[in-house]
Structures are given as structure tokens and as C-alpha cells.
Structure 1
Amino acid sequence: MKIATRTAAATLVSLALVAGGASAAHAGHDANPSEKVASYGYALNAVQPADVPGSGASGKTRVKALPNGKLQVTVEAWGLSPNLPHAMHLHGVPGAATDMGCPGPAQAGDDGVVTVLDGAPFYGGILTSLTSTGDVSPASALALDRFAVADESGYLHYERTFTDVPGYTDAGTVQVVVHGIDFDRNGMYAFNPEDPFASRSSSLGAAIPLEATVPVLCGGIAN
């Protein structure tokens, strides 16, 4: 399924550039990574308040900075919306040892949901789109036809090794963010005027369903 439009992708790229300029807090790092492989494991925690349908997911991720500029990212998650793709990204602030954090239920707006724009001040801009194939730049942020799909039980496993991508030198500070909740459980990301959550638009644009972009899990070294 691909709901992304050029306008939507451009909006998310702009968001990535703007958020990437936000101030960041310094954080501690794993004590003794290998000289050749810096490996960082994070828990992926639920972003949304408990009363948001489909919010009760969980997961874990590992980010490895391999030799020769390669970056390997593994994501494993449970409780996601079944049989649907889930956009995933590395977020952060490129540079020396800066680290953003993850939003949680307390960051929900007046609408009761933590949107992409609510989360951006915490996890920063998009460094890499964790697609399964093809382009990995912020321009692919909503290319849902190229993101990993959760199985019928809501389980998702993803692993890909990237070469020369932003995030390599920041492997210990990036945030991994997983998006997408099928609020009305109708098997698609679409507008449903009869559902109080699925009827809403994404904070990225009126033509994009909130279901497709809402962050569901986030994890990183600050958490």
C-alpha cells in the first residue's frame, strides 16, 4: 500500500530539516563497544496514551556501526497493526554526541494523540528511512510500499545493512521510530468518518490519514 504523495514526502523532508536543527541534550553511551563494531540495543516503548486504540505495542531495536561506513539496523516489534506496512526511521541530530529523546503519552495534544509534529521536538529530524528496499533518504519517509509489514498477529521483524547513510557516526544517539496504527481495525490506513480516531488527518497534511503516520513506538539511548 502506498498513500504517499510528492507533497506529503516533501512535507516530511521539510520537517526533517527543521527538526534536525533543534537543540539536543547530551546523553551517556554504552561503555565498551567493540573497536570494530559499535553496537547499541534499545527498547522500543509505546508512544501513545493507553486509551488510543492500537497503542499497546512493544519492541526492541539494535543499531550497529560496522566497518567501512556500514550501518545495520534490526527492529523487532509486537502488537502492531496486523498485515500493514509500518513506516520506520532513524531520527536524530547529526553531529558530535548529541541525542534527542522519545515522546510519551504526556506529549499528547488536545486531541489525545501524539502526532508526528508533537514528537519531532523530542526525536529530531529524519536521518534515514528504514525501507526494506530501494531509497533510504527522508524522501522515502512515507513510501509504505517499501516498508516492512507486520504479520497477522502484529509481529514485525526487520533487518537491513546500509552503506554510507546519515546516522553511521551517530549510531549511539539515534532514535528509532515506528509509525502506523489501524485505529478502526479495518485492515487499511484510510479515512473513516465514523471513527473518532480514523477520521482524522495526519499532522503532515489534510490528505494523509492520521493512521498512516502516527508514531506508535520509539526507542533510543536517551530512554
Structure 2
Amino acid sequence: MPVPGAWDGTPILSSGLARRKAPIWFISAQSADLVYLSAKRRSGLSQRKAPIWFISAQSADLVYLSAKRRSGLSQRKAPIWFISAQSADLVYLSAKRRSGLSQRKAPIWFISAQSADLVYLSAKRRSGLSQRKAPIWFISAQSADLVYLSAKRRSGLSQRKAPIWFISAQSADLVYLSAKRRSGLSQRKAPIWFISAQSADLVYLSAKRRSGLSQRKAPIWFISAQSADLV
């Protein structure tokens, strides 16, 4: 059922991308505007295999999927993943999909990139982040490897201020943003999302932050939160 006050998805779901063509990644950042990638940039992600991932950034509003957009995930089989960026709200999965992790043990964020299988994190992999302190965002692309963040790698972003989005492509290395490097996007307005779509290399924000990746090696996709256009 739709969550009161949350964006219903109707205007943009049909915009530019065919419903049957490929799932769309949505990131809601303090607005109802959708950020999406074209199917052509998906590079290595099977259209019928991967579900749609939703990340609600800087808002307590829930992002939900309609039954028709679940892309291989049954309504009763697996729930929708909610990631709240500025709160300690728990993200939970149905008992059957928890993959051996107790409900009361720790909140787990699952974002599986190439299948309907769940990517899970054990408490031991949480790398110094307390359960009640801040959530960790995991996006595993083309692998079951976990992407994790330690508090020391947050690079100038306060825990209560804004989250950091990580998209790892076949690597456990961290992709991180600093507040000063948001490239024209106001901190309070919207973050910048990085999606590595055509290579297994990691995407970093600026040339100086590339950590050994040359400019010509890894392409960077910038997606603005306040428009549907790709930068």
C-alpha cells in the first residue's frame, strides 16, 4: 500500500524508459524528482534479473515499489528495501529473506545488482559503525561482495548531516564523497549519485579523489537529484 505523503511514482515511471525494457534506479533526495539511468547504460545488468532499488535520501518518507515494477520479485516473496538517510530507522526484510541473520540482531541493507538474491552484511563486517549510530548503504554491482563504510572514511560528512552513497562495481573498495566536492549541488538540496555502469572500476567524485584511477580509466556518471537529465 502507498505510504501517506510519499511520492506515488506515477508521473515519471513512464517517462523515457519503457516499463518492460529495464528496471529503473530511483534515488529520492528531498524531492519527488526521480533520477534514472537509461537501459543502454546498464552494461552487465540483466533486464529481467535485477529489481529496482530505491534510496530515500535526507528524508523519512518511504519509497515504495508498485507491484508491476518489481521485476521478478513477487509481492509476497520479498519486501521493498527502505533506506532512510537521516534517521536511525531500521531497514527490515521478511523473515524468509534474511539469509540467516536474526531480526533483532542488526538492520541490514540489501541491494542486489545482478539478481533477486540478497546481499547481506553480518555484524562483524560493520567496520566500527554502531547499529544505533548510522546506517551503511550497500550497493553491490555484479557480485555478492559487500561494500562497507567505516566512520573514519566519511570524509567530512557529519553523520546527522548527509549520508554517503556507495556503488561498488566488483570491488570492496569504498567510494566516498566529501561535502566540499558536491560540484554545484547544495549540501541541503541534493547529493550527487555515482553509478558505475560500464566498467568494474570504482567511481570517484573528483580527479584528486580517484585513488589511483585515471580520468580515462573509469567513466563517472553524475546524476542530479533535481532533474531527470543525466549529467
Q: TM-score, normalised by structure 2?
A: 0.25
Structure holding more strand per residue: 1
Kindly indicate whether structure 1 or structure 2 has the higher relative contact order, using CA contacts under 8 Å at least 6 residues apart.
1
